[in-house]
């Protein structure tokens, strides 16, 4: 799965604060995510995160278009 820095991930399960959207700060073997709702940052293994992703929202592509992936 192609996840990049600054993508917003919409997950199947919400964070304890109630938000389902997370900003990607770091990607690799694990992700560093920032909760859009409460601002908490945490690390999660890539395998666990990829199972729970519902939608990837990209703000901009190389051509400047906004897309949903």
pLDDT at 64: 56
pLDDT at 59: 78
Q: Count how many residues are written for the chain.
A: 69
Question: 53: phi > 0 → left, psi -120 to 50 → alpha, else beta; which?
Answer: beta
Sequence spans of domains, the chain: 8-59
DSSP element (H, E) containing 42: strand 41-45
pLDDT at 50: 94
Burial of 21 (0-12, 13-18, 19+ CB in 10 A): middle
> pLDDT averaged over consecutive 10-residue blocks of the chain (69 residues)?
93 95 96 96 95 90 57
């Amino acid at each position: 799965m192609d996840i990049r820095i600054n993508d917003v991930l919409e997950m199947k399960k919400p964070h304890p604060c109630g938000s389902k959207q997370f900003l990607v700060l770091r990607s690799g073997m694990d992700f560093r995510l920032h909760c859009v709702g409460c601002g908490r940052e945490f690390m999660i293994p890539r395998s666990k995160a990829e199972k729970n992703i519902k939608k990837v929202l990209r703000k901009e592509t190389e051509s400047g278009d906004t897309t949903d992936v």
